[in-house]
Structure 1
Amino acid sequence: MLRKDLLRVSRAGGGYRPQFTGREHRPLAARVLGAFESHVGERRGDLDDALADLEADAAARNGDFKLVRGLAALVERECEFETRAAVPPRRVRRAAFEAAEAVGVASEAERETAVDRAADALGIDSRDVSASLYADRDVNRVLVDADVRWDPDTLLEQYDLSLAQTTLFDATEVRVRSNDPKRLVSAVKRLRLMYELEQTPEGRELVVTGPDALFSRTRRYGTAFARLLRTAAESAEWSLEATIDDRGRERTMRLSDGDVTVPDVEPVAEPDFDSGVEADFAGRFRGLDLDWTLVREPEPLETGASVMIPDFAFDYDHADFRLFFEVMGFWTPEYVEKKLGQLADVEDVDLLVAVDESLGVGEEVAARDHRVVTYSGAVRVKDVVDVLREYEAEFVADAAAALPDAFEPADDVLPLRDLADRHGVSEAAVEGGPFPAHELVGRTLVRPAVLERIDDDIDDGAALSTVEATLDEYGVDDASATLSTLGYRVEWEGLGGGTVRRKE
């Protein structure tokens, strides 16, 4: 975060937008870094003079001196300054003031006499007295380490993040979405903020405020909002909308993952698993070839005044349908009680719950109108797939009612999956045909005339690789099914390939 006086925003069109950096600012970032690196071993005052020259140069080039100061402020936090003095400055000042009082300093000569007396009292050289007298002032402290963690590009990234955080100092409410909602909710709770879940045309989002917002709009939670932004920005996909109190005028600021990133942090593309049971299930399920996509920790669900983030969701590839999936493992009695409460109050969605048999609460969960599978040690993928198949059968039946009585595509060769995609259904919904003008060869529709031409092009005794090349020319990729349909077999020759022979 930056000091508020370094804030740079645009209010064009009544909006509120941080003035982020671009590639054109990279040379300036490099010069700021260079100024610090070149002043290692020198006084802070000399460094400040160099930075002041950069500010003046930026202003002369129609730039913004606040940008230079903001970049410098970030770099300075990474640097180390120290006081260099032969004797602690406070001790030197005490000795010098006592000597000055005894001498009665009114001229330069008397000043030198006082310095000499102080040097004698301290047992150091007079020049060391002058050098140490105010060595602990900021302007005289020496830069000893400017080995910062940023290069020009990552410095600009950090600046943009810090600038965005600073704009939230005056926020009264924040609305945020993330592909890692569980991490987001955890951060909200850790920062002692309050949240509600709202449904918007873009999806569910967290509306975040603070306790005092129940009584009046307040900016006192701006720092917490700024910290929340960093958590959101560590995700691969996120968006944020903040209500800003801009000197008494309410403005709206919108940010997304295209605006701000966190330097040196790999975006969280997918949340970590809470348990080995979940990780094991996800690994085995994703190895299957199903018409369902597994989503890790989907959007939060309302559970009364709070939210519940299911462990998974299954999205059906051929319909707008999502089945949420919660793995209820063995935890403390308090956890079980809390989870049962959430399941009782969760909003009206399709929810499948895998319950550890040792909990003995499967019937209680089922009584809350949720589908239940039980497990011991590991969730059986087959049990879950069986549930998905039940839903899938309903979708296939519904889709079949809207399909034509027969399928007669104009293509000579058409994979079954492409036919299904054209009708927006699964392969299971179309594989039964009928196909008056085609023959179903494996999983591909092929016109009989094309099969005849393929048969004419195949020589008995040809190498399998040659035949596969011929099939590729016709757009047929299932050599085994096609050869079987045409009455051929393959004689395999170890690892060296095979020969196509007509069946006797």
Structure 2
Amino acid sequence: MLTADLIRTWKQGPYIGPKYLNAEDSGYLELARRLIDLFVEYKGHPRGELQEALRDLLADSPDYLIHRGLSKLLMDRCEFQISQKSGLDPKLLRAKLFHLAVENAPVVLAPDIIHPVTKYDLLHTVALELNTTPETVAAEMYADLPQNHLLSIFDAPTPEWLLNRYNVALAQGILYKCVRMRLIAYRNIPARYKQLFKFIKFYRLLHSITGDLESGYEILLDGPVSLFRLSQKYGLQMALFLPALLLCTKWKMEAEIVTGEDQKRYFVLSSDQQTLESHYKDAAQYDSLLEEKFAQRFEQLQSEWRIERETEIVNLKETVFIPDFTFRHQHDGRMALLEIVGFWRSDYLKRKIEKIRRANLTNLVIAVSSTLNVSESDLQDLPGFWFFFKTAIDPKEVLKRIESVAQS
């Protein structure tokens, strides 16, 4: 992302916002193209040479911050490596050379009667000791320094992608000092909601959730004020979360930003007013091959039950429970649910079982992997019906169980 010094903002009254670029502007598209081409040109060159070329390109441009911001995002798509043919440790080379330099000081370029030892003499002595050449010693003694690392991989984007990513990065930068965020997500398909909730948990954001699938959800992400101190690390988590919000179809966001000593401003975004594009990938339809194979085999039964992926959301206030599959009878409208408790860590497993207990769904079928450290006594008080499976879930077993627990 962008560093704080590269964030361009406007302020008006109690509000703050990013100074976005027009991602369709021909001038900015040309700038993005030139920068991308420069990175491609310097593939295989040292980082220092690339940075110098970027400085030359920026020169006295009035768009200096924009240049630097775009360059920073491109640099994030680079991989650098130490260039060494000999395999010698640069630190070892420097240690030996500096030790000899101290012993023979002063070292000169051109010898005379008073100063007979030259730089080449030191290189030659170290080269003989390490069975290499003086040229290799000279070339590799500083190979480990960042400016000498070679650009080995550059994932070149399109100019359009770069400008869109820059706009998102500006919005993310404002959230570095976010202390609280209020979200309203509505009129989204269930998979979008689940994806949003997963990202909230993944970035370990303190949250409370109210609402339902029908009317939408209000989500409060409570930041470092709850931790009694302003933590920019937590604000960074808020910033990383933003592209996940952009994957939703309909949403509103109001973020409370600390801009100075006891000064707060508000950063407002919504899907209706913004054209920001997320660079996060949309979630896959299935979380695992186990779930995908089960769904395929169940549909092959050609039963009267229609299988749906994660369409029911149970609000548990501070979190939600979303069963893996929903089954609806095509004729009488009865519904049943399936939750797969597969290959999880022990701490996650305990939370999963506790969440199932709290959801208290009597029309729920629970398939539990026999590889988990779970006994029958651990599952006795769970609602609905549970059974163990080994490597695959038998769709006929599930069909039989949903018939017995389904409700209208």
TM-score w.r.t. the length of structure 2 is 0.66
Structure 1 pair 204/131, CA: closer, same or farther in 2 (3 Å)? same
**How far apart, in 2, do the equivalents of 1:324 and 1:157 lie?**
46
Equivalence for 1:11: 11
**How far apart, in 2, do the equivalents of 1:272 and 1:98 lie?**
58
Deviations 1:3-40 (A, max 9, x none): 22222222245422123332222211111111111122
Runs of 5+ consecutive residues of structure 2 not aligned to the other structure = 343-348, 368-379, 386-397
Structure 1 pair 99/194, CA: closer, same or farther in 2 (3 Å)? closer
**How far apart, in 1, do the equivalents of 2:51 and 2:340 lie?**
60
Alignment-mate amino acid for residue 358 of structure 2: G
Equivalence for 1:114: 118
Alignment-mate amino acid for residue 99 of structure 1: L
Q: What CA RMSD, in Å, does the superposition of the two structures yield over aligned residues?
A: 4.5
Equivalence for 1:446: none
**How far apart, in 2, do the equivalents of 1:303 and 1:83 lie?**
51
Equivalence for 2:240: 227
Alignment-mate amino acid for residue 8 of structure 1: R
Q: Which structure carries more helix by proportion? A: 1
Q: CA shift at 1:227, angstroms? A: 2.6
Equivalence for 1:74: 73
Q: CA shift at 1:207, angstroms? A: 0.4
CA contact (8 A) 2:210 2:317 kept: no
Equivalence for 1:244: 257
Alignment-mate amino acid for residue 103 of structure 2: A
Q: CA shift at 1:104, angstroms? A: 2.0
Q: CA shift at 1:218, angstroms? A: 5.2
2:358 to 337, 341, 354: 341
Equivalence for 2:394: none
Task: Check if 1:209 corresponds to 2:222.
Answer: yes
**How far apart, in 1, do the equivalents of 2:24 and 2:75 lie?**
22
Q: CA shift at 1:362, angstroms? A: 6.8
**How far apart, in 1, do the equivalents of 2:277 and 2:231 lie?**
27
Equivalence for 1:168: 175
**How far apart, in 2, do the equivalents of 1:108 and 1:177 lie?**
71
CA contact (8 A) 1:303 1:343 kept: no
**How far apart, in 2, do the equivalents of 1:45 and 1:92 lie?**
21
Equivalence for 1:350: none
Q: CA shift at 1:324, angstroms? A: 12
Identity among equivalent pairs (%): 24
SS at match of 1:23: coil
Deviations 1:342-397 (A, max 9, x none): 359xxxxxxxx74459999579xxxxxxxxxxx944867xx87xx5xxxxxxxxxx
Equivalence for 2:376: none
Task: Check if 1:186 corresponds to 2:185.
Answer: no
Structure 1 pair 177/309, CA: closer, same or farther in 2 (3 Å)? farther
1:35 to 9, 30, 38: 38
Deviations 1:87-111 (A, max 9, x none): 5433332333233233322654259
SS at match of 1:2: coil
Alignment-mate amino acid for residue 102 of structure 1: E
The answer to which structure, 1 or 2, has the higher relative contact order (CA under 8 A, 6+ apart) is: 2
Higher alpha-carbon deviation: 241-250 or 78-87: 78-87
**How far apart, in 2, do the equivalents of 1:259 and 1:119 lie?**
59
1:254 to 268, 279, 284: 268
Runs of 5+ consecutive residues of structure 1 not aligned to the other structure = 288-293, 315-322, 345-352, 364-374, 388-504
Equivalence for 1:263: 279
2:50 to 47, 50, 60: 47
Q: CA shift at 1:114, angstroms? A: 2.9
SS at match of 2:110: helix
**How far apart, in 2, do the equivalents of 1:70 and 1:324 lie?**
55
Q: CA shift at 1:171, angstroms? A: 0.7
**How far apart, in 2, do the equivalents of 1:336 and 1:136 lie?**
50
